[in-house]
Amino acid sequence: MIHVSAFYVITWVPIGIYYLILNVNSSLTMLQSGYYILMFLAFLYICANPFIYATKFDPVKRVLVGLIPWKRSSPPTG
């Protein structure tokens, strides 16, 4: 769970700080390139979160491996 929390902080805190600075100092203007970079980081978390769960948490990993047809253990027929 530490991986998920750390990745969340790394990706969402910069845009939060960016908006806070813009709200505190209204004379600053929003740089469009900075905004897009920070939004990319935030959306990166959303895209990467399922892969973090799939690789780091055993219950999720077991369910996902069970969904793969050739990985299922079935009794031999004969």
Report the share of the chain in percent with pLDDT over 90: 10
34-68 tens-digit pLDDT: 888 989 999 998 998 888 888 888 888 888 888 87
DSSP string, the chain: -HHHHHHHHHHHHHHHHHHHHHHH-TTS---HHHHHHHHHHHHHHHHHHHHHHHHH-HHHHHHHHHHSGGG---PPP-
Q: For residue 74, what pLDDT band results from cuts at 50, 70 and 90?
A: low
Write down the domain spans for the chain.
2-71
Confidence band, pLDDT 50/70/90 cuts, at residue 75: low
